[in-house]
Chains A and B, each alone.
Chain A
Amino acid sequence: MPQTAADDSSAAPPRGLSLRGITKRFGTFVANDAVDLDVRPGEIHCLLGENGAGKSTLMNVLYGLYAPDGGQILIDGQPQHFANPKQAMAAGIGMVHQHFMLVQVFSVAENVVLGREPGSLGALDMRAARSRVKELSARYNLPLEPDAIIEDLPVGVQQRVEIIKALANDAEYLIFDEPTAVLTPQEIDELMAVMASLRDEGKAIVFITHKLREVRAIADRITVIRRGRIVGQAEPGSSEAELAELMVGRAVSLTVDKQPATVGETRLRVKDLTIVNPAGAVVVDRISFDVHAGEILCVAGVQGNGQSELAEALLGVTPVSSGTVSLDGVDIHSLSPRETIAAGLGYVPEDRQHDGFIGDFTIAENLVLNQFHRAPFSKGLSLDLAAIDAFAQSRRSEFDIRTPDVSHLGSSLSGGNAQKVVLARELSRPLALLVASQPTRGVDVGAIEFLHKRIVAARDSGTAVLLVSTELEEVEALADRVMVMYRGQIVGIVGPQTPRDVLGLMMAGVPYEEATAPAAGQQEVSS
């Protein structure tokens, strides 16, 4: 256990981890262009950049997953060469992955020792594994039950297991790859506290994110990467607007310029809706709400509290157990997706790659994925390729879908452009109701601004919009009303000006009245 005292810096060989001139190309595309980055023991270094800026590529180089085309990795001044993650781990680099690398049906202890199981002659020494977990969780103040099964644990606790797993490997350099994407605001605060205490223990931390608020909360140093190049360092005290401008290279308005809603008649009416999932759990529990023409109702909540099922049930891919759903007075709760789409529903699925997009289809085909069987895209059984192509060309220019040609495969698009394809598909016909889940997840700031404008434009044309989002920024920017869900129930429907900490508490199930009571206001550590 090589320990590192809090440094007092700048001796001849610098302590810590240094990247020097790292270059990584994919074909002609330069993902990392002579990137320099230093992280010293006892500091949190934020690597801030849009999606696709090259953050993950850089970390994959560092973690031994990609071989760099140029440059050097130095640890305490010594050049390193990692051919695979195993060598990187041996050198003290640990990664907390965005998508946890845990075996869901194994216990905490089994996961922590996975790959280097203690014991001899093929016998697994579970006692040693358990005591290792206990020792680490006590030392770093990360409470964990060694025998708990991963799939039973909340996401925040699973992440703790990932952290312990890296620490069990004697990691001195911890990379957190977008760690907050799946957490509640409270869990984010806890994670921040953990990161701060690891720093105080002398660990060096690289924190990858594109969320400005978190950067400002915890970073000791901030490096901004754009299009594969380091574009600058920022002070932890910089404003969100300054950071955003550095990140995207121009000033960005994070707030959407929108008129107050001119609310019309009720278009969507949900009454006593209950959904029981195939496993028999009640995931949506007798909820009732309305959405009117010309308003955006945001469904806020931590992922997994019934929002996804609600959206899927409105479309018709998830069956409704009881209750009614009516759209413009017509009951749609038992209709198939094709019928609800025909009834005027537009749908942006939560998981674009999985549900909204076909990578092996051309961009043009993706743009007509749910309209191909109707005029003008087909006559009888025959597709009208010319009409499909013409439509795709017009969508490409209107939505600024960046591709050389709409006959290219969908998989050639970046995440933001793929999402533009999905929104272009849904927003190009008159809609009674738009159900959009996480419409800007994984989309860079520049594209977010554009997509938000399009959603507001749909609202202003009289569409009722139901927007499911776990990003409070997005909720604040778009919502005319906010409906908070927790464990399948509605905690409350509140105005768009509701403070973020109140929303955070409501997302943890605290009713509005209690959340706004003065006693509940106090928060845990946040550096």
Chain B
Amino acid sequence: MSAPVPPVTEGPPPTVAVRRPRTLRWRELVTSVAALFLALFVGALLMVFSDPAVASQFAYLFTAPALPLGAAWVKVSTAYSALFIGAVGSPAALVETAAQSAALICAGLGVGLGFRAGLFNIGAQGQAIWGATIAAWIGFTFQLPYGIHMLVAVLGGVLGGAIWGGIAGFLKAKAGAHEVIVTIMMNYIAAGLMAWLLTTAAFQRPGRTDPIAPEVFPTAALPSLFFGRLHLGFLFALLAAAGVWWLLERSTIGFAIRAVGANPAAAATAGMSVARTTITTMTLAGALAGLAGLMSTLAPGSGFDPVPVPLTIGIVGTVGFDAITVALLGRSRPLGTVFAGLLFGALHAGGLAMQSLAKTPFTLTTVLQALIVLFVAAPALVSTLLPFLKQRKAPAVAAALPAGASK
């Protein structure tokens, strides 16, 4: 009611030309980059004050300011340059970044797809666990020719994640269970089932009593593309991103997913089935998380011996939870998710270098990740902390609009 209706036939051109492309993306990009720098700044403060050697220098802040500030500068610049070099400083570093990002991108695409349908899918972790488990099982149980074995293992892992995600979607659609609760609980169940499977004859490595599976046959491993570490999975991730983009923007399925996400009542009135869309979305999201998970058991490991790591309990790490931050930073869009995945992959890769070269704990990268997403989630905070962004932003946004129109 209170929204003004533009005068149409006279005066300045009509109001609020909200175009989906460009303006929104531009503003989001600015916010995301600003969030990155704010996070690095806060991270620097943490580094300075958590290092006793540097913090003790602050006793001299007023008598000899050069001492603490210099120490702080040395500390921060060493750490961040190690982070930078470890992430993008050499071809090997770039390869490591890409390798780290492959799984994050896939799982992030899955979580983001859920977001687009209005589903808060916390279950990427459990779906990834099934991806890892089933792919590994196919990898070490069967003996098939090169290529075929790998494809079968990948399909098996993807299918495992898809089924686990689909169950959550089914419970949401048909039984009214909230997807957040369902997927969190299914994460526990997946982790527990995997731990149990590792004690069964089918999974446990002969002659071992601890929960570890046999190594997968080389025929099932994702082939290395470059420098050992970069594997076919990265290509899969990029293909998946392209596929999700097509699905969302160019397909009838994506139209329904976006409609259900934006306004389920209108979608239902227009004849779309909210239940079916929910199940489809969760199945696809699970498939993508499964793809992420299987990389932990089929992709070449680190070090000089690039063979896949055998399946153990913690093998997928926290990829399913990191995926949520990737999807948030990537604004649930395929391209954004690729960039967010690469950024977090870079933080992972650089974090390892930072730890060894600058004696800064690896966990700082986790803190940085969290801070970035925190700042992204609170754009008002960013523009309050960096007021100049508002002024800089406004003309840029206006320029992208049709002449005369403004928000």
How far apart are the CA atoms of A56 and B262 in the complex, in Å? Answer: 27
Within 8 A of B (CB), among A473-513: none
Q: Is B52 an interface residue (CB 8 A)?
A: no
* A359 engages B262 (CB within 8 Å): yes
Given contacts A383-B252, A407-B19, contact A369 B266 (CB under 8 A): yes
Q: Is A349 an interface residue (CB 8 A)?
A: yes
Complex contacts, B253 vs chain A, CB 8 Å: 381
Given contacts A27-B406, A52-B5, A402-B14, contact A315 B269 (CB under 8 A): yes
Q: Which of A54, A98, A317 contacts B269 (CB 8 A)?
A: A317
Q: Is B250 an interface residue (CB 8 A)?
A: yes
Complex contacts, A362 vs chain B, CB 8 Å: 20
Complex contacts, B7 vs chain A, CB 8 Å: 29, 227-228
Q: Which of A28, A336, A412 contacts B18 (CB 8 A)?
A: A412
How far apart are the CA atoms of A404 and B6 in the complex, in Å? Answer: 12
Q: Is B175 an interface residue (CB 8 A)?
A: no
Q: Which of A27, A54, A342, A359 contacts B15 (CB 8 A)?
A: A27
For chain B, give the interface size range.
35 or more
Complex contacts, A234 vs chain B, CB 8 Å: none
Complex contacts, A408 vs chain B, CB 8 Å: 17-19
Complex contacts, B16 vs chain A, CB 8 Å: 27, 412
Within 8 A of A (CB), among B23-51: none
How far apart are the CA atoms of A342 and B271 in the complex, in Å? Answer: 9
Residue of A nearest to B15 (CB): A29
How far apart are the CA atoms of A373 and B251 in the complex, in Å? Answer: 9
Complex contacts, B406 vs chain A, CB 8 Å: 27-28
Q: Which of B1, B2, B4, B14 contacts A404 (CB 8 A)?
A: B14
How far apart are the CA atoms of A412 and B402 in the complex, in Å? Answer: 14
Complex contacts, B12 vs chain A, CB 8 Å: 28-29
Q: Is B273 an interface residue (CB 8 A)?
A: yes
Q: Which of A337, A338, A339, A412 contacts B17 (CB 8 A)?
A: A412
Residue of B nearest to A360 (CB): B262
The digit string for A57-89, where 1 denotes a CB below 8 A from any CB of B, is 100100001000000000000000000000000
For chain A, give the interface size range.
35 or more
Given contacts A383-B250, A404-B17, A407-B19, contact A359 B263 (CB under 8 A): yes
Given contacts A358-B262, A412-B18, contact A404 B268 (CB under 8 A): no
A443 to chain B, nearest CB (A): 11
B279 to chain A, nearest CB (A): 15
B148 to chain A, nearest CB (A): 28
Residue of B nearest to A66 (CB): B2
The digit string for A385-423, where 1 denotes a CB below 8 A from any CB of B, is 100000000000000001111011101101110000000
Q: Is B405 an interface residue (CB 8 A)?
A: yes
Given contacts A56-B1, A359-B263, A414-B6, contact A338 B18 (CB under 8 A): no
How far apart are the CA atoms of A362 and B270 in the complex, in Å? Answer: 15
How far apart are the CA atoms of A406 and B265 in the complex, in Å? Answer: 23
How far apart are the CA atoms of A54 and B2 in the complex, in Å? Answer: 8
Q: Is B272 an interface residue (CB 8 A)?
A: yes
Looking at chain B's contact residues, the main secondary structure is: loop
* B250 engages A385 (CB within 8 Å): yes
Q: Which of A27, A60, A315, A373 contacts B407 (CB 8 A)?
A: A27
Complex contacts, A227 vs chain B, CB 8 Å: 7
Q: Is B395 an interface residue (CB 8 A)?
A: no
* A414 engages B5 (CB within 8 Å): yes
* A404 engages B262 (CB within 8 Å): no
* A369 engages B19 (CB within 8 Å): no
How far apart are the CA atoms of A362 and B20 in the complex, in Å? Answer: 8
How far apart are the CA atoms of A317 and B253 in the complex, in Å? Answer: 20
Q: Is A288 an interface residue (CB 8 A)?
A: no
* A354 engages B5 (CB within 8 Å): no
How far apart are the CA atoms of A219 and B266 in the complex, in Å? Answer: 39
B253 to chain A, nearest CB (A): 6
* B265 engages A355 (CB within 8 Å): yes
How far apart are the CA atoms of A361 and B255 in the complex, in Å? Answer: 10
Residue of B nearest to A349 (CB): B269
Complex contacts, B405 vs chain A, CB 8 Å: 404
The digit string for B267-293, where 1 denotes a CB below 8 A from any CB of A, is 111111100000000000000000000
* B14 engages A403 (CB within 8 Å): yes
* A378 engages B252 (CB within 8 Å): yes
Residue of B nearest to A53 (CB): B5
A340 to chain B, nearest CB (A): 8
Q: Is A382 an interface residue (CB 8 A)?
A: yes
Residue of A nearest to B402 (CB): A404
Q: Is A321 an interface residue (CB 8 A)?
A: no
Residue of B nearest to A54 (CB): B4
How far apart are the CA atoms of A317 and B19 in the complex, in Å? Answer: 32
Complex contacts, A444 vs chain B, CB 8 Å: 5
How far apart are the CA atoms of A27 and B17 in the complex, in Å? Answer: 12
Q: Is B231 an interface residue (CB 8 A)?
A: no
Q: Is B258 an interface residue (CB 8 A)?
A: yes
A71 to chain B, nearest CB (A): 17
How far apart are the CA atoms of A408 and B267 in the complex, in Å? Answer: 19
Complex contacts, A218 vs chain B, CB 8 Å: none
How far apart are the CA atoms of A337 and B267 in the complex, in Å? Answer: 10
Q: Is B147 an interface residue (CB 8 A)?
A: no
Given contacts A360-B262, A362-B20, A404-B17, contact A369 B270 (CB under 8 A): yes
Q: Is A209 an interface residue (CB 8 A)?
A: no
Residue of A nearest to B268 (CB): A317
Complex contacts, A186 vs chain B, CB 8 Å: none
B332 to chain A, nearest CB (A): 13
A421 to chain B, nearest CB (A): 12
* A409 engages B18 (CB within 8 Å): yes
Q: Is B89 an interface residue (CB 8 A)?
A: no
Residue of B nearest to A355 (CB): B269
Q: Is A189 an interface residue (CB 8 A)?
A: no
How far apart are the CA atoms of A362 and B259 in the complex, in Å? Answer: 11
Residue of A nearest to B405 (CB): A404
Residue of A nearest to B2 (CB): A56
Residue of A nearest to B4 (CB): A31
Given contacts A361-B262, A405-B402, A407-B19, contact A381 B8 (CB under 8 A): no
Complex contacts, B270 vs chain A, CB 8 Å: 337, 341, 369-370
Most chain-B CB neighbours within 10 Å: which of A28, A65, A385, A444? A28
Q: Which of A29, A337, A381, A407 contacts B268 (CB 8 A)?
A: A337
* B271 engages A337 (CB within 8 Å): yes
Q: Is A110 an interface residue (CB 8 A)?
A: no
Within 8 A of B (CB), among A35-69: 51-54, 56-57, 60, 65
Q: Is A372 an interface residue (CB 8 A)?
A: yes
Complex contacts, A317 vs chain B, CB 8 Å: 268-269
A77 to chain B, nearest CB (A): 29
Q: Is A356 an interface residue (CB 8 A)?
A: yes
Within 8 A of B (CB), among A329-371: 336-339, 341-342, 347, 349, 354-362, 365, 369-370
* B269 engages A373 (CB within 8 Å): no
Complex contacts, A373 vs chain B, CB 8 Å: 252, 255-256
Residue of A nearest to B24 (CB): A409
The digit string for B366-407, where 1 denotes a CB below 8 A from any CB of A, is 000000000000000000000000000000000000101111
Complex contacts, A342 vs chain B, CB 8 Å: 271
Contacts A382-B251, A405-B17 supplied; 9 other A-B pairs, CB < 8 Å = A27-B15, A29-B6, A228-B4, A315-B269, A337-B270, A358-B262, A370-B270, A372-B255, A414-B3
Please name 15 pairs of A and B residues whose Cβ atoms are closer than 8 Å in the assembled complex, sorted by A: A27-B407, A28-B404, A29-B15, A52-B3, A53-B5, A56-B1, A60-B2, A98-B1, A342-B271, A356-B269, A358-B263, A361-B259, A372-B255, A402-B6, A414-B6
Closest 9 CB pairs of A and B: A52-B5, A338-B271, A414-B5, A370-B270, A31-B4, A369-B270, A337-B271, A360-B262, A355-B269
